[in-house]
Amino acid sequence: GENVEQHPSTLSVQEGDSAVIKCTYSDSASNYFPWYKQELGKGPQLIIDIRSNVGEKKDQRIAVTLNKTAKHFSLHITETQPEDSAVYFCAASFYGGATNKLIFGTGTLLAVQP
Amino acid sequence: ETGVTQTPRHLVMGMTNKKSLKCEQHLGHNAMYWYKQSAKKPLELMFVYNFKEQTENNSVPSRFSPECPNSSHLFLHLHTLQPEDSALYLCASSQDTPREQYFGPGTRLTVT
């Protein structure tokens, strides 16, 4: 069935360093790939997304890249800050049955050490 | 932050209790979702409503019963739950499925 794998499960970086989180998806028909950030005690918050007609998208310190051939996409955070510490989830759209839905990865706990 | 609200934020219930979770979205969206979030597992989609009609029931046990009276409100009625149902229950909404879903803060449910 549909599946999204996310790595690593935990990531610790020094403040100012870059962080990269990678996801692979199984459904070649997927065409929408959002990334969510979840802070303690809060719901996931959409931080950036990419559609399959582009290979890269950037928003300030955050960028996402997509390789459709290899069916993987990555989140890049540059100049990390302590407030970037959170759990990050990737997701991919899946078209099946009556509803298009998102399939989520298992999450990456990012810790930015000051 | 206030686009999707959920109440209560925390709930402790016994296995014989009946309770309901409430979700409200103030974004003018057409679709609403219930997800279950357990430790070390991906977000599990439970139900999808599009224009008040249920379009997805992801093999959820009948002890969970959703209700969507209009496009802005979504309920999850709970009865005779099991301890393994303890989790964070998240509500989300979107203009269309499945794009740009916006999540509420969740209800932390503990079944004793």
pLDDT tens digits along B26-39? 999 989 999 999 98
Residue B109 DSSP code: E
Please say if the pLDDT value at position B99 is more than 80: no
Mean of all residue pLDDT scores within chain B: 91
Side chain identity, residue B105: P
CA distance A112 to chain B (A): 20
CB B73, CB B22: distance < 8 Å: yes
Q: Given this model, what pLDDT does residue B54 score?
A: 78
Asked if A43's CB is within 8 angstroms of B104's CB, the reply is yes
> What does the DSSP 8-state code read for residue B43?
-
Six-digit token pair at A77?
A: 């955070």
Strands B73-79, B107-111: parallel, antiparallel or unpaired by DSSP? unpaired
Report helix, strand or coil for B72.
coil
Question: What is the number of other CB atoms lying within 10 angstroms of the CB of residue B87?
Answer: 19
Q: How far apart are CA A70 and CA A81, in angstroms?
A: 31
**Confidence (pLDDT) at A96:** 59
Q: What letter would DSSP give residue A100? A: E
> Is B12's pLDDT higher than 60?
yes
- What is the structure's pLDDT at A98? 55
Closest by CA position to B65, among listed B43, B106, B44, B34: B34
Residue A5 has pLDDT above 70, yes or no: yes
Cα gap B67→A20, rounded to integer Å: 40
Q: Which residue has the tokens 């310190």?
A: A61
CA A78/CA A104 separation, integer angstroms: 23
Q: Is B52 left (phi over 0), alpha (psi -120 to 50) or beta?
A: left
Q: Given this model, what pLDDT does residue B37 score?
A: 95
Quick one: what percent of chain B has pLDDT higher than 70? 97
* CB-based contact B97 A105, cutoff 8 Å: no
Give DSSP secondary structure letters for A23-46.
Answer: EEES-TT--EEEEEEE-TTS--EE
Measured in angstroms, the CA of B5 and the nearest CA of chain A are apart by 10
pLDDT tier at B95, thresholds 50, 70, 90: confident
pLDDT band at residue B1, thresholds of 50, 70 and 90?
low
Residue A80 parent element (H or E): none
pLDDT at A41: 87
Tens digit of pLDDT for each residue in A76-94?
999 999 999 999 999 998 7
**Which of B48, B100, B103 lies closest to A44 in CB terms?**
B103
Shortest CB distance from A100 goes to which of B6, B98, B104? B98
Residue A1 is predicted with a pLDDT of 66
Give tens-digit pLDDT for B101-110: 999 999 999 9
